[in-house]
Amino acid sequence: MSEALKSTGADWSLSDPGLIRTQAYVNGEWADAADGATFPVYNPATREVIAEVASVGAAETRRAIEAAEAAQKEWASKTAMERSAILRNWNDLLLENLEDLAIIMTVEQGKVLAESRGEVAYAASFVEWFAEEGKRVYGDVLPLPQPGRRGIVIKQPVGVCAAITPWNFPAAMLTRKAAPALAVGCAMVAKPPHETPLSMLAQAELADRAGLPAGLLNVLPAEHSRPVGDELCSNPIVRKLTFTGSTAVGKLLTKQCAGTLKRLSMELGGNAPVIVFEDADLELAAKGAAASKYRNSGQTCICANRILVQDTVYDEFIEELKKVVGTYKIGNGLDESVTHGPVITRKALEDIRDLVDDAVEHGATVAAGGEFGEGDSQFIEPTILCDVTPKMRIFNEEIFGPVAPVFRFSTEKEAIEMANDTEYGLASYIFTGDQNRSWRVAEGIEYGMVGVNETLFTSQFIPFGGMKESGQGREGSRYGIDEYVETKFICFGDIGTS
């Protein structure tokens, strides 16, 4: 086994140890689980237990929901300016504590410090954005056909919202949901993933320091999701659920929410294609595909899952991609020289290896990498697979790891058909030097987001979301705030004339 694939420890400490919180945060107070239950949080690079965190259940969830309902009414009565001031305080504290938050994230999630720092800044950007956007929730005056009547449209907060977030972006997935909710006057009850609860708990600590009133943000860590999730979905006080995660779980949550007809935002699985045409800048395409594919060790929902390359430049593109991958170094993310950390669990590693083994068994070849850590190691060498075909499992299944399968296509029509041959439709990427083609293909592929000669386009400015079974609703941008408001029509009659 390569030395790089062995788990290696690294010392870590925080400037502010008070950011390490291991209890639930309910109604502005830190509390243990009612039955005293806890669960361990592991460092995926070392497999060391870094914390024991309270594991709450349905009773604590109900208490958090009731606290959110009580706090939300007064919060909604405040002006947008008042709410904005507190959100701006939260944004400032997130940025002031960026390094500590990045260390916490790297230790519990595994991504390298550079990526963790970037994510903390990304998380803060949503708080800043929606602190401003909350001031711009405008209504309308409608022309009505009857004399003596006037019609207006106003927007009001949905009420108590619930969020269930994933482990791969433990900071940004909270703020992308909580910031717009809080900005318009809603309250939030959030369940972090059991793999990475410490980042969200630290954010709650900073929200408390920022002056966010008790009850408006509640964080419920739990080893087992079902008791908390069932209560969030069934409780009629919760008027909206927002979820980021797998399509299978998203469908289950949608069914569970049907009984109370909750508003839903679902950001689900992806199977992102990168389409490289023969007229593309191949060096740019290889760098872009690699940046998308191997970011967070391949553990993002918008990762390049299938790289489709026109057959006339296939071999040349593979060589360019190998050059990029050859510069990578894997290891503990706390080491500043490391470019890629481990995958989140040993089971994740085994699932990724199964996909690679299936592809190789059916004729694919390993052009780079291909080595998997042994024993308890969760490291995978960044891997390139050549001669991959749509008949292999890896064409249809989300990889969620640092493995790049490269497929061939001949014509533009074939590329579009291959890209659309999936139930998913989240992100997609095109590399071409032909402007007309970029328009044709961007409009022809069935994805909520398309990057043309670019793969790193996410920010607080864009409407993030997908089509088909990749979900519904949008997060971020001016469109994202509409997910947390109700549109109300008011008719004034008998106005008469003066």
CB 308 within 8 A of CB 419: yes
365 assigned to some structural domain: yes
6 assigned to some structural domain: no
Examine the residue annotation and report whether 301 is marked as an active-site residue of this protein.
yes
CA 146 to chain centre: 48
Count of domains for the chain: 2
Rounded to whole angstroms, the Cα distance separating 128 from 135 reads 12
- For residues 230 and 366, membership in a common domain is answered with no
The catalytically annotated residue of 161, 186, 301, 386 is: 301
The catalytically annotated residue of 231, 267, 320, 469 is: 267
- For residues 226 and 252, membership in a common domain is answered with yes
- For residues 277 and 370, membership in a common domain is answered with yes
- For residues 388 and 482, membership in a common domain is answered with no
pLDDT for 237: 98
Whole-angstrom CA distances from 285 to 250, 316, 328, 358, 378 are 33, 11, 17, 27, 29
CATH number of the domain that residue 42 is part of = 3.40.605.10
- For residues 264 and 349, membership in a common domain is answered with no
Angle of helix 197-209 relative to helix 80-96, nearest 10 degrees, comes to 120
491 assigned to some structural domain: no
Instruction: Tell me the pTM.
Output: 0.95
Helix or strand (DSSP H, E) at 452: strand 449-452
- For residues 264 and 277, membership in a common domain is answered with no
Examine the residue annotation and report whether 417 is marked as an active-site residue of this protein.
no
Segment 250-269, tens digit of pLDDT = 999 999 999 999 999 999 99
Cross-strand pairs, 94: none
CB 348 within 8 A of CB 297: no
- For residues 377 and 426, membership in a common domain is answered with yes
> Tokens 């940025």 map to which residue?
95
Rounded to whole angstroms, the Cα distance separating 378 from 380 reads 7
The residue range of the domain holding 374 is: 272-459
- For residues 354 and 378, membership in a common domain is answered with yes
Spatial CB neighbours of 212, under 8 Å, sequence gap ≥ 6: 86, 90, 182
Could you tell me the sign of the dihedral formed by the alpha carbons of 164, 165, 166, 170, in that order?
negative
- For residues 58 and 179, membership in a common domain is answered with yes
pLDDT for 2: 41
Angle of helix 435-444 relative to helix 412-420, nearest 10 degrees, comes to 30
306 assigned to some structural domain: yes
Decide: residue 489, CB within 10 A, 0-12 exposed, 13-18 middle, 19+ buried: exposed
CB 238 within 8 A of CB 190: no
CATH number of the domain that residue 395 is part of = 3.40.309.10
277 assigned to some structural domain: yes
Q: What is the largest CA-CA distance in the chain?
A: 89
Rounded to whole angstroms, the Cα distance separating 491 from 459 reads 39
The residues of the chain scoring below 50 in pLDDT are: 1-8
- For residues 60 and 125, membership in a common domain is answered with yes
Rounded to whole angstroms, the Cα distance separating 483 from 252 reads 20
Spatial CB neighbours of 265, under 8 Å, sequence gap ≥ 6: 177, 240, 241, 242, 243, 465, 471, 472, 473, 474, 475, 483
- For residues 199 and 343, membership in a common domain is answered with no
Decide: residue 88, CB within 10 A, 0-12 exposed, 13-18 middle, 19+ buried: middle
Written as one letter, the residue type at 401 is G
pLDDT for 9: 55
- For residues 428 and 292, membership in a common domain is answered with yes
Q: SS3 string of 53-72?
A: EECCCHHHHHHHHHHHHHHH
Extract long-range pairs of 337-340: CB within 8 Å, 24+ residues apart: 338/112, 339/112, 340/112, 340/294, 340/297, 340/382, 340/402
